[in-house]
């Protein structure tokens, strides 16, 4: 099957191609291939001319603090143009060309203030508290209102063994290798996700023609402090380098963050997809890391 995709040159997209290229023929729609998703005509022409039945939409401005700086420009800012209008262009083009759309969203759309017991499910109502999350949720709403066959995949803290851009796991590994002292937050909860599992889940979602919203996230909730300690244990780094801090201190002067972001993955599990715990992900990452 041929698949058109935006953002396939990024942290998640490149790994999807690496792991699924025997099953699917991917074509990247990006600036590198002459397609600007904020340019409606370019997007419409490319999607119209393709015989791919599925479009993956990963492209987004994801730098949270950078998006927050765009907030003063509202709908004229880069974050809105890419994350909202770019998504609208993709949706409209898919609608005209009768394509299925798979949109990659984020755990940040939840406010994290008073999460339900056991974590957020796909049924919980988002309430974004920063501009990045607001623009991503606006993208979700555009898709929800469309007449498309669509799937929304929400991700959380994706990590992998090897890539030029550092994710949070490899960033911590690099700093601990260099004997840097780390101050790690103890009052933030996250759901780290091994990217190889995202590829497995995507394959199942496509083959099952599963529609709706899915939390494609790991099976273990940890704080950044706990994550750093686990990484130190797995890679035999000096744990005395790791000290504690709180979110109010660590993120002072930054965009507001959602802090208790435990997401449940029961829905994707019902399709037979086993998402790794953070411990299991680190075991596999250690085998793969170069």
Domain count, the chain: 1
pLDDT reported for residue 31: 83
Q: How far apart are CA 1 and CA 206, in angstroms?
A: 10
Q: Mean per-residue pLDDT for 60-87? A: 97
Q: Is 78 exposed, middle or buried (0-12, 13-18, 19+ CB in 10 A)?
A: middle
pLDDT reported for residue 33: 83
Q: How far apart are CA 96 and CA 11, in angstroms?
A: 30
pLDDT reported for residue 34: 84
Q: How far apart are CA 155 and CA 215, in angstroms?
A: 7
Q: How far apart are CA 80 and CA 56, in angstroms?
A: 19
Confirm whether 231 is domain-assigned. Answer: no
For 172-193, how does the pLDDT look when each residue is reduced to its tens digit (9 = 90+)? 999 999 999 999 999 999 999 9
Q: Mean per-residue pLDDT for 77-106? A: 98
Which residues are CB-contacts of 1 (< 8 A; sequence separation ≥ 6)? 23, 24, 25, 52, 53, 54, 206
The pLDDT mean for the chain works out to 96
Q: How many CA atoms lie within 13 A of 80 on its CB side?
A: 11
pLDDT reported for residue 6: 97
* Cβ contact 112:95 at 8 Å: no
Confirm whether 232 is domain-assigned. Answer: no
The domain in which residue 120 lies consists of 2-224+237-288
Eight-class DSSP state of 114: S
Q: Mean per-residue pLDDT for 192-214? A: 98
Q: Work out the percent of the chain whose per-residue pLDDT is above 70.
A: 100
Q: How far apart are CA 102 and CA 91, in angstroms?
A: 10
pLDDT reported for residue 290: 74
Sign of the dihedral defined by the CA atoms of residues 68, 69, 70, 73, in that order: positive
At residue 204, does pLDDT exceed 90?
A: yes
Rg (CA), the chain: 19
Task: pLDDT band for 8, please (50, 70, 90 cuts).
Answer: very high
Task: pLDDT band for 195, please (50, 70, 90 cuts).
Answer: very high
Confirm whether 229 is domain-assigned. Answer: no
Confirm whether 76 is domain-assigned. Answer: yes
For 230-265, how does the pLDDT look when each residue is reduced to its tens digit (9 = 90+)? 999 999 999 999 999 999 999 999 999 998 999 999
Confirm whether 202 is domain-assigned. Answer: yes
CA distance readout (Å), 74 to 11, 30, 87: 27, 24, 16
**Which residues make beta-bridge pairs with 57?**
6, 103
pLDDT reported for residue 287: 96
pLDDT reported for residue 225: 98
Sign of the dihedral defined by the CA atoms of residues 257, 258, 261, 267, in that order: negative
pLDDT reported for residue 241: 98
Confirm whether 181 is domain-assigned. Answer: yes
The enclosing H or E element of 103 equals: strand 100-106
pLDDT reported for residue 152: 98
For 112-145, how does the pLDDT look when each residue is reduced to its tens digit (9 = 90+)? 998 899 999 999 999 999 999 999 999 999 999 9
Secondary-structure percent of the chain, ordered helix, strand, coil, rounded to 5: 45, 15, 40
pLDDT reported for residue 32: 79
pLDDT reported for residue 169: 98
Confirm whether 114 is domain-assigned. Answer: yes
Relative to beta strand 242-245, strand 182-185 is parallel
Confirm whether 230 is domain-assigned. Answer: no
Which residues are CB-contacts of 184 (< 8 A; sequence separation ≥ 6)? 223, 224, 225, 227, 228, 242, 243, 244, 245
Task: pLDDT band for 14, please (50, 70, 90 cuts).
Answer: very high
Q: Work out the percent of the chain whose per-residue pLDDT is above 90.
A: 96
Which residues are CB-contacts of 81 (< 8 A; sequence separation ≥ 6)? 38, 75
* Cβ contact 14:8 at 8 Å: yes
For 22-55, how does the pLDDT look when each residue is reduced to its tens digit (9 = 90+)? 999 999 998 878 889 999 999 999 999 999 999 9
**Which residues make beta-bridge pairs with 88?**
none
Q: Mean per-residue pLDDT for 92-106? A: 98
Instruction: Give the CATH number, domain containing residue 101.
Output: 3.40.50.720
């Amino acid at each position: 099957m041929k698949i058109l995709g935006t953002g396939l040159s990024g942290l998640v997209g490149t790994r999807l191609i690496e792991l699924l290229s025997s099953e699917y023929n991917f074509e990247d729609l990006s600036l590198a291939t002459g397609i600007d998703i904020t340019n409606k005509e370019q997007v419409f022409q490319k999607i119209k001319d393709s015989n791919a039945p599925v479009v993956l939409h990963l492209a987004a401005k994801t730098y949270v603090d950078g998006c927050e700086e765009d907030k003063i420009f509202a709908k004229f800012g880069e974050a809105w143009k890419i994350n909202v209008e770019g998504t609208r262009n993709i949706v409209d083009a898919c609608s005209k060309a009768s394509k299925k759309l798979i949109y990659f969203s984020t755990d940040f759309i939840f406010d994290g203030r008073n999460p339900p017991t056991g974590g957020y499910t796909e049924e919980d109502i988002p309430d974004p508290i920063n501009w990045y999350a607001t623009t991503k949720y606006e993208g979700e709403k555009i898709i929800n209102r469309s007449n498309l066959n669509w799937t929304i995949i929400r991700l959380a803290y994706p990590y992998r063994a090897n890539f030029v851009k550092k994710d949070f796991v490899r960033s911590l590994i690099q700093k601990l290798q260099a004997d840097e002292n780390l101050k790690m937050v103890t009052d933030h909860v996250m759901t780290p996700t091994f990217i190889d599992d995202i590829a497995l889940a995507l394959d199942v979602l496509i083959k099952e023609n599963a529609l709706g919203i899915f939390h494609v996230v790991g099976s273990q909730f940890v704080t950044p402090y706990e994550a750093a300690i686990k990484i130190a244990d797995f890679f035999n780094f000096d744990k005395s380098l790791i000290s504690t801090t709180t979110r109010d201190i660590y993120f002072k002067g930054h965009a507001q963050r959602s802090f208790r972001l435990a997401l449940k993955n029961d829905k994707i599990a019902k399709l037979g997809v086993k998402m790794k715990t953070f411990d299991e992900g680190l075991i596999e990452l250690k085998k793969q890391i170069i």
